[in-house]
Amino acid sequence: MAKKKGFFLTRWFKRAFLGSDQEVRDFMQEEQVQTPFRTMAHNFFSKHTVRIGLIGFFLIFLFVLIGPRFWVLDLSDQDSTLTNLPPSSNMMDVPKELKGKIADIAAGRTYGVGLDTDGHLHTWGYTRITEKINIADIPDEVRNADLVMFAAGEDHVVALGDDGQLYVWGNTRLQQGQFSSEMKKAMKANDATWDIIQLEASNQFSAALSSDGTLYLWGNTNVADIKLRKQYQGNIAKVALTSNEYICLLKDGTVAYTGFKDKGSAFAAIPENLQGVTVKDIAATSSTMAAVTEDGQVVVWGNAKNGEKNIPAFSAPVKKLYAGRFHYTAWLENGDVVSWGGNKYHQTEVPASVAHGANIREIYTGNFQNYAVMEDGTVETWGLKGFFLGTDGQGRDLLTRIVNGGRVTMTVGAISVIIATIIGVVLGGIAGYFGGKADMLIMRIAEIVGGLPFIPFAMILSAVIGSRLDPTQKMYLIMVVLGVLSWTGTCRLVRAQILAQREMEYVTAAKAMGIKEGTIVFRHILPNVISLLLVSMTLDFATCMLTESSLSYLGFGIPLPTPTWGNLLTGANNSIVIQQYWWQWVFPAAIFGICTICINMIGDGLRDAVDPKSAER
Does residue 86 lie within any of the structural domains? no
Of the candidates 90, 96, 126, the residue with the CA atom closest to the CA atom of residue 108: 126
Q: How far apart are CA 126 and CA 386, in angstroms?
A: 9
The domain that contains 579 carries what CATH number? 1.10.3720.10
When divided into structural domains, the chain yields a total of 1
Of the candidates 325, 287, 286, the residue with the CA atom closest to the CA atom of residue 303: 287
pLDDT of residue 21: 53
Q: Do 317 and 296 form a contact (C-beta atoms < 8 A)?
A: yes
pLDDT of residue 1: 45
Does residue 317 lie within any of the structural domains? no
SS3 200: strand
Does residue 259 lie within any of the structural domains? no
pLDDT of residue 4: 47
Does residue 530 lie within any of the structural domains? yes
Domain carrying residue 453: 48-75+396-616
Mean pLDDT, consecutive 10-residue segments, the chain of 617 residues?
A: 45 46 49 58 77 91 92 88 92 89 91 90 92 92 91 94 91 89 84 85 93 92 86 92 91 89 76 88 93 92 90 92 95 94 94 87 93 90 94 92 92 91 89 86 89 77 71 82 86 86 76 77 74 82 85 78 87 81 92 92 82 53
One-letter amino acid of 383: G
SS3 17: helix
Q: Can you name the residues that pair with 384 across neighbouring β-strands?
A: none
Q: How far apart are CA 282 and CA 323, in angstroms?
A: 9
Does residue 4 lie within any of the structural domains? no
Q: How many CA atoms lie within 13 A of 452 on its CB side?
A: 20
* 219 Rama sector, left if φ>0, alpha if ψ -120 to 50, beta otherwise: left
| pLDDT, the chain, mean | 85
Does residue 316 lie within any of the structural domains? no
Does residue 192 lie within any of the structural domains? no
Helix (H) or strand (E) holding 302: strand 298-302
Does residue 410 lie within any of the structural domains? yes
- Model pLDDT for residues 518-555, shown as the tens digit of each residue: 777 777 777 777 777 888 888 888 888 888 888 887 77
Enumerate residues 6+ apart whose C-beta is below 8 A from 114.
94, 95, 98, 102, 104, 105, 106, 121, 122, 123, 124
